[in-house]
Structure 1
Amino acid sequence: MSDVSTPEFRAGFACFVGRPNVGKSTLMNALVGTKVAITSSKPQTTRRVIRGIVHRPDSQLVIVDTPGLHRPRTLLGERLDSLVLSTLTEVDLIGFCVPANEPIGKGDRFIAEKISAVKKTPLVAVVTKCDLASRQQIAEQLLAVSSLANFEEIVPVSAESGEQLDVLVDLLTARLPESPPLYAGGELTDEPEQVLVAELIREAALEGVRDELPHSIAVVVEEMGPREGRDDLLDIYAHMFVERPSQKAIVIGPGGARLKDVGTRARRQIEALLGTRVYLDLRVKVAKEWQRDPKQLRRLGFYD
């Protein structure tokens, strides 16, 4: 039997960065092969550093998905940016994501400057969403991206169609250090189940709300465990926090219809994730201006 700790095996961490809504979470889910990060059409959906694990016979790639880097307007935004920048110094490789179907902007240049300052860490550019762009657009974007930083590789991919995903993993794993596996075989993420459940609830809540509301929603799973005397049913009690009573009314909807729909969609996703039937008790609470309140941010899991 071969020993995976021999020098031929490689393992390490690659961090995906980019401005909000460039497809980082969708790309990570596609590479891992299952949903470990929530996705949304709304920017700044990701609020935590989430790790997804890609297993190969000769390597183990741990992808670190980060919140989108941007110029923050709230204390929450400042903490998210700080989280991303500290993560960049701890990984073996940085993947800079830029969509193929949008022109390079100030946000992309801002991030390119930040990652270029992280010395001795290889940089790979990933041009995402190629299924939404023409061949000419993709070619022009590859050229534009090449001028932003000293990238070792620039790879066009599509998480939706699967195009070039194997090529991307080959390029990333080739740059990882020689190492035994960092996680047990078969493990796809190191996120606690309660965090994943909270994120799936927040994803369901993000669908169809007004543009300003996503940044005001936080979800905390207060209690989760099998129902007494039952091994086929999991009880989950969760609170969804918003910043103002008017937002609470939006989330609940007329006669509670919207909240019921959120609960139904979230429950389906949670059951698919955990492989068991779920009873979800979801309540909405107001935590006034929580994005700007250090005490409330800590309570909701956004630490200094």
Structure 2
Amino acid sequence: METRKKILITIGDPAGIGPEVALKAFLQFHDKAIVFVGDADVLSEAAALLKLNLAIRAVDSVSEAIFDKGILNIIDVGALRGLSWQKCVPTAIGGRASAQFIRCAVEIILNGGAEALVTAPISKEALMLGGVYYLGHTEMLAELSGATDYAMMLTGGRLRVILATIHTAIRNVPDMITLGRILGVIRHANTAAYMLGIIAPRIAVAGLNPHAGEAGMFGREEIEEIAPAIEAAALEGISVTGPHPPDTIFHKAYNGEVDIVVCMYHDQGLIPLKMIAFDRGVNMTIGLPFIRTSPDHGTAYDIAWQGRASATSMAEAIKMASTLRLPTWR
């Protein structure tokens, strides 16, 4: 009986680099129980482009998969069957197909067919063109799985960052920084540490404003919302400090003094992480009822279907999905 963790890989937007990086990364994990979810013809074409000697085997369920070297199992969703689709640009067809791949994978996992999901890149523009209105993977996965309390975390090199706000305009961020939201993200950071196997994690919370507000001179969010959230988390037994000036806390994290940095907005966390680990970053969603990771890059239409996309981040995402553990207190 197969006892390895079952990992699903969605191929992402077929017009982008998703099929290519998924195939390249897959070759590094012959010892893993991996099943693709997407379109068999797309993968066959990508494999031919890359000159890969793979037997692409369509299955109806994970239980039918054969996990042997040289065999790639795929659940063909049929989203592109009979359709003419265009490569290297965002399209409605590609957006709808990538959404169907995700829905199918989540359904399989929620029904007990697999334990982890690795998602290749999708395009928010293509989703919108296809009438699928989500801000991204994270929000879509949360809705499909019924998760209402979740957070986006990214790891790369020496940094791990978790975001208090995700895909929203900068002008919206200050009003979203509340005690309840920050406390929740600190809790998610603590959960992420458990999932990663970090013992006695050191969590640091970045401020929103320059110099973490400078005692209220540059903003009062640190005093009125962020610091009280940190105090509340500490009372729960979480090892957390802050609010730290955003321009220094990442240096401390890089030097190993901090395990996870709680960031107030998207680019506060992603700029330093991508600076040091642009091709190795991994996105993980905390708060879902299953393990989910993805490469920390987009569809890269400009280099798609040329055989030259790096699969390093995708391989890191698969590796992380295979090692993460879900919290027992869900």
Q: What TM-score, normalized to structure 1?
A: 0.30
Higher strand fraction (1 or 2): 1
Q: RCO greater where, 1 or 2, for CA within 8 Å and sep 6 or more?
A: 2
Higher helix fraction (1 or 2): 2
Q: What TM-score, normalized to structure 2?
A: 0.28
